[in-house]
Amino acid sequence: MQQLADRLIDTGFLQGLPRGLGYVIVVALFAFLMLNFIMLVAGVTSWLERRVWARIQSRIGPNRVGPQGSIQWLADGIKNIMKEDIVPSAADAPLFRFAPYLAMMGFFGAFAVVPFGDGLIVADINIGVLYVSAVTALVVVGILMAGWSSNNKWALLGGIRSAAQIISYEIPAALAVLTVVLFTGTLSMQGIIRAQGWAPWNWFLFHNPFTFVAFFLFFVSALAEGNRTPFDLPEAESELVAGAFTEYSGLRSLLFFLVEWGNLYLIGAICTTLFLGGWQVPAFTDSGLVLGLAQVLTFFLKAYFLVFVAMWVRGTLPRVRVDQLMTLCWKYLVPIAFVNMILAAFFAAILPNGSIFVKAGMCVFGLGLAVHFFQRVLFHLRRAKPELHLSPIV
Amino acid sequence: MSHAIDIDLHREGPGGLETEEMTLNMGPQHPSTHGVLRFVVKADGEVMRRAIPDIGYLHRSIEKIAEKVGYHGFMPYTDRVDYVSAMQCNQGWAMACEKLAGIEVPRRGEYCRVIASEFGRIASHLISVGATGMDMGAITPFTHAIREREYINDILEELCGARLTFNYMRIGGCAWDLPPGFAKRAIAYLDRFEPLIDEYDELISFNKIYVERLANVAPITAERAISWNLVGPNLRGSGVRYDVRRDVPYSAYPEFEFDVPVGTGERGTLGDCYDRYMVRMREIRQSCRILRQALEGIPAGPVVAKVPRTFKPAPGAVHVRVEASRGDMGWFAVSDGTAFPVRVHIRTGSYAAMAAIEELSKGLMIADLVAVIASLDIVAPEVDR
Amino acid sequence: MGYFENIRESVRTIFEGMAITASHMVRKPYTVQYPDRIDVRVQDTLPFRYRGLLDVDLEICTGCLACERACPIDCIVIDAEKDKETREMVLKRFDIDLAKCMFCGLCSEPCPTGSIHHTPEFEGADYSLESMIRRFVKAPVVAYKPSKGPETNPEIAPILKRGLRYLDEFASPGGAS
């Protein structure tokens, strides 16, 4: 991004400004653009999640505001902004007010290293992946602060659950990331993407069995870090009312939800970067602009597919209990991730560039899984003999 | 209602830290206390020391109302005793009155009652298993269960004109005969419904997370279940094969073939939450079986006996029991020969189950309390009446 | 259960669950978009026995007070007097408090002509309790007197036919009364 800023200051519309001020302006501009993008994505995700969820549950979902209810999220946002911002009298008011912004900061900061395309990244720092796991951990401070300052016992329980959960699941997530890093040798987000290709057999997902396992480990851990079902304990509705967010209302509660849905996209983006080849597209044209757009679109679609999977998981699974959450993390995910990483290290030592046979085998395996899955879907459809409605438009 | 709570609030934690027990107030507006229940939860972090149920938020003096409205007029009120499965409450009251006056119900009337009751049982168990799923955090099974319940409500609406408070049965039989073509439509529905039970099982009952959440949670041994006076699926979940329909036969039940499913401890301990849940799932299948037999073999004839409009049974006291969705429901009625009963008492399954929670909850997680409430299938109006 | 058995079972059951939810994504939603986006009014799809808001056909009301007696919550109030000169029942008041009514159907059962009956209407919300009281008698009317043979009055015959059809649905309850 520095190059872009330099170019703008040297030749662009910021000509003549002092370099420092120019940088500040460019950064502020980027932050503004990014914030709006995230808001939009989070909003649309909230609508889409409700629609996907509704279809899973034989319902329709929001379909009144705008075509197919597509601006429902805007209406909800406006409603939330106009609502009274209540601070409970017993709450620790400054902390209570500050907590949502802290959570927001943590998750928004991570978008600085999300690569949307070749060169389309706010800051391609050389420790990109590490930065993501460090910065997203800030969310936990926000949630814990919200839980504590609400002075509500349910909120406190939710906050503490969240802290334990996010800190624990950092470990398998980091180990899964390391498995990939073993093959790339770089922590830079762009570097990881450049180590992959546009075709599925060049993705790290199908690179070898260990990265394949690492993908699922990372996805599960990321769901847990993002407080998503089946790990939505901090706001477990049937147990803790609304968990850490019980006392929040209006805009502040909206910010927490924004974090949740925004986080979903972040999970998708990081997974795409690490395992699904990021923005890689075949060089089908010479036009840089068209290629750039194709890259952005590819990245967005891949990330959004994972967002869709997360929604779908939410529509399927029940929630784990607190002790089971810890059991899953420390007895299953962490050992598996360690063993997986060590085996991957051996693999990397033997075949540092991977093997075409292993890649082909993994692709066939993946395809087989998909076919089997499709068969099961057909089996359930045949057994229940329902009326079909294939269109997403109702 | 006040409770004497004497637990030492301060104690030494690990490392000499003084920890304090937390008192949580779960309900009456908590999302997972079905209806308006309240629990005073004494918790040590996530672990409960005990959960003390506080009842009475839904008390409507239904038993007293019976003394004011007479025998015929009390029938709609019985719908409100357990509004999740009102049919069996209807049947209990009708049977109590018939026993008081010595009225014989026509056979077709008994079949109609069985059909209505079993549909009601399926609908009620669907709510129960769906709500268990929802309390475990999976909303989809709940909506699927509610969807099927709506279809059953459609069928019952066709039969008796209401979806929730049926008021279908009368003293001496039923108010309405089956509408034309009812049996065909009901069987067609069952044909569609039964594969969905399998699907439901695969979606949630066998789900590993779900099994882990329910198995080994709050097991009740058969002896304790009996001494706590648990009835219905809660008792059968503990492995006691007792079903009023089979052991104290009433209505047309002796004419049907059905199994009484009991808990087997298949995934954990005998009598845990998962067993109680699975007993309900299996009872849904058994109800379908009874329904098929009843719908196919329904005899011709009247559905209601001749009962005078001013119903004045002979003086005396009776007790009848029906197998309601929440177990053995006892109806006790005392008549003094006038048009109004002197005393009516209803013994419900949820009340006993509610009393068991305090013991069961010791040492469980807060999340488990939700599982226990859901698996005991407590319906607040039935507790308070 | 062993460690790996646990993993295997988790993966298998979650896979199966995901397949089921995926199959639901292409099924037809069951939602009825009441009240505006439906083809047929819900009221028209309800079964004949549906117990909605009560209605009274005063033309065939005999003023026998059977419904008032049957009502367990006394939401029906009828003032009927025998006119000394004409020896006819005169209905002065026939009020049903729909705010109290619990739609149990016990009133329509003993009605000899099917005058008081449930309609499929259920949209009874209103702004005040007072307006929930349906006052059917605007001015005192003479109660209907059943004729010996079939009804001949062309104005009343169709109403009576409807009323008797309504009664036919009941499985001859009570019998003697």
Is residue B152 domain-resident?
yes
Tell me if B150 is assigned to some domain: yes
The neighbouring-strand residues paired with B344 are B333
Is A1 among the domain residues?
A: no
Q: What is the pLDDT of residue B228?
A: 87
Residue B3 resides in a domain: no
Give dist(CA A109, CA A98) in Å, integer.
Answer: 16
Q: Which residues are C79's β-sheet partners?
A: C93
| Predicted pLDDT of residue A371 | 93
Residue of A nearest to B195 (CA): A384
Tokens of C102: 């619990």
* Backbone φ, ψ for residue A183 (5° rounding): -90, -25
Q: Which chains touch A (3 or more CB pairs under 8 A)?
A: B, C
3-state DSSP assignment of residue C91? strand
All residues of chain B having their beta carbon less than 8 Å from the beta carbon of residue A160 are 45
Q: For position B17, what pLDDT does the model report?
A: 66
* Strand partners for C133: C97
CA distance A67 to B242: 56
A331 is a domain residue:
yes
Q: Are B286 and B118 in contact (CB under 8 A)?
A: no
Cα B79 to Cα B168: distance, rounded to the nearest angstrom = 9
pLDDT of residue B18: 66
The answer to whether residue A362 sits within a structural domain is: yes
Instruction: Looking at the complex, report in whole angstroms how far the Cα of residue B190 sits from the nearest Cα belonging to chain C.
Output: 18
pLDDT in tens, C105-126: 888 888 888 888 888 888 888 8
Long-range CB contacts (within 8 A, 24+) of A93-97: A93/A149, A95/A145, A95/A148, A95/A149, A96/A146, A96/A149, A96/A150, A96/A247, A97/A252
Q: Would you say B244 and B328 are in contact if contact means Cβ atoms under 8 Å apart?
A: yes
C2 touches chain B (CB under 8 A): no
Q: How far apart are CA A211 and CA A203, in angstroms?
A: 10
Q: Considering only CA atoms, which of B43, B16, B298, B274 is closest in space to residue B177?
A: B298
DSSP state, residue B202: I
Q: Which residues of B143-160 are buried (b: 16+ CB within 10 A; e: fewer)?
A: bbbbbbbebbbbbbbbbb
Domain that holds residue A309: 83-383
- Chain B residues 60-99 with CB within 8 Å of chain C: 69-70, 72-77, 79
**Within an 8 Å CB–CB cutoff, is residue C171 touching chain A?**
no
In angstroms, the CA B69 to CA C73 distance is 8
CB-CB contact of C13 with B207 (8 Å): yes
Q: Please name the member of C9, C50, C173 whose beta carbon is closest to the beta carbon of B157.
A: C50
Confidence at residue B365, expressed as pLDDT on a 0 to 100 scale: 82
Q: If we measure between CA atoms, which residue out of B35, B38, B39 comes closest to residue B49?
A: B39
Instruction: Enter the tokens of residue A89.
Output: 């009298």
User: Does C17 contact B202 at a Cβ distance shorter than 8 Å?
Assistant: yes
A69 part of a folded domain: no
Please indicate, yes or no, if residue A42 is contained in any of the structural domains.
no
Residue of C20, C45, C48, C100 to mutate, interface with B, max B Cβ within 10 Å: C20
CB contact at 8 A, B276 and B129: no
Instruction: Determine the structural domain holding residue B257 and report its residue range.
Output: 70-309
On chain C, the residues whose CB falls within 8 A of the CB of B208 are 6, 9-10, 13-14
Residue A72 within a domain: no
CB–CB contact A383 B366 (8 Å): no
Cα three-residue angle C3-C6-C7, rounded to 5 degrees: 95
Task: List the structure tokens of B240.
Answer: 């006691």
Half-sphere exposure of B100 (CA within 13 A, CB side): 32
Q: pLDDT-derived band of residue C172, with 50, 70 and 90 as boundaries?
A: low
Return d(Cα C153, Cα A85) in angstroms, integer. 69
ipTM here: 0.83
Query: Residue A380's pLDDT is what?
Result: 87
CB contact under 8 A, A321 and B196: no
Domain total for chain A? Answer: 1
- Structure-token pair, residue B6: 């004497």
For residue B319, give the amino acid letter: H
Q: What pLDDT is attached to residue A368?
A: 92
Which stretches of chain B score pLDDT less than 50? Answer: 1-9
A168 within a domain of the structure (yes/no): yes
- Rounded to two decimals, the pTM is 0.86
What contacts C49, CB < 8 A, 6 or more positions away?
Answer: B157, B158, B159, B160, B161, B176, B179, C169
Tokens at B257, concatenated = 């073939």
Residue B325 is assigned to a structural domain of this protein: no
Predicted confidence at residue A72, as pLDDT, reads: 87
User: For the residues C7-23, what does the mean pLDDT come to?
Assistant: 89
Give a yes or no: residue A275 inside a domain.
Answer: yes
The string of pLDDT tens digits covering residues B79-94 is 888 888 888 888 888 8
Ordered DSSP codes for B113-149: HHHHHHHHHHHHHHHHHHHHHHHTT-HHHHHHHHHHH
Q: What distance in Å separates the CA atoms of residue B377 and residue B153, rounded to the nearest whole number? A: 20
Check if C33 contacts A (Cβ < 8 Å). yes
Between CA A157 and CA A321 the distance in angstroms is 13
C127-148 pLDDT, tens per residue? Answer: 888 888 888 888 777 777 777 7
Minimal C-alpha gap between C124 and chain B (Å): 16
Minimal Cβ distance to C30: which of B147, B161, B308: B147
Contact B75, B341 (CB under 8 A): no
| C24 contacts A316? CB cut-off 8 A | no
Give the domain CATH number at B148. 1.10.645.10
Disruptive mutation site among A316, A317, A383, A393 for chain C (greatest number of C CBs within 10 Å): A316
Is there a contact between B325 and B125 (Cβ–Cβ < 8 Å)? yes
Instruction: Count the domains in chain B.
Output: 1
Put simply, whether C1 touches B (Cβ < 8 Å) is no
Nearest residue of C to residue B74 by CA position?
Answer: C72
For residue C38, what pLDDT is reported? 83
The tokens for A257 are: 């939800």
> Block means of pLDDT (10 residues each) for chain A, length 394 residues?
68 70 80 84 87 87 84 87 84 85 83 80 80 84 86 83 85 88 85 82 83 89 84 73 79 84 87 85 78 85 89 87 86 90 88 80 89 90 81 74
For chain A, counts of helices (H) and of strands (E): 15, 0
Whether chain A has a CB inside 8 Å of the CB on C27: the answer is yes
Cα B238 to Cα A241, A252, B134, B277, C92: the distances in Å are 31, 47, 23, 11, 63
